[in-house]
Amino acid sequence: MPLSPSTTRELLAKLGHQPKRFLGQNFLVDGNIVRKSLELAEVRSGDAVIEVGPGLGTLTSALLAAGAEVWAVEKDRNLHLHLEEAIVPTAEGRLHLLEGDAIEHPLAGFKPDGRAFKVVANLPYAISTPWMDEVLGGPLPERMVLMLQQEAAQRYTADPGGKQFGAISVFLQAAYDIAPGHKVDAGCFYPRPEIESYLLHLVRKPAPHVFPREVKAVIRACFQQRRKQVGGILRNLLADKGSAWIAKLEAAGLSAQTRAEAIPVELWRQLAV
**Which pLDDT value is given to residue 10?**
87
Q: Judge whether 260 and 226 are in contact, CB under 8 Å.
A: yes
Q: Distance between CA 26 and CA 21 in Å, rounded?
A: 8
**Which pLDDT value is given to residue 149?**
93
**Which pLDDT value is given to residue 224?**
95
Spatial CA neighbour of 50 closest among 177, 139, 153: 139
Give the residue ranges of the chain where pLDDT is below 70: 1-3, 22-24, 273
In the CATH scheme, what is the homologous superfamily, with its name and number, of domain 213-272? rRNA adenine dimethylase, C-terminal domain (1.10.8.100)
**Which pLDDT value is given to residue 89?**
96
DSSP string, 186-252: GGGEESPPSS-EEEEEEEE-SS-----HHHHHHHHHHHHTTTS-HHHHHHHHHTHHHHHHHHHHHHT
Give me the residue spans of the domains in the chain: 5-204, 213-272
pTM given for the model: 0.93
CATH class of 5-204: alpha beta
Q: Do domains 5-204 and 213-272 have the same CATH topology?
A: no
**Which pLDDT value is given to residue 2?**
60
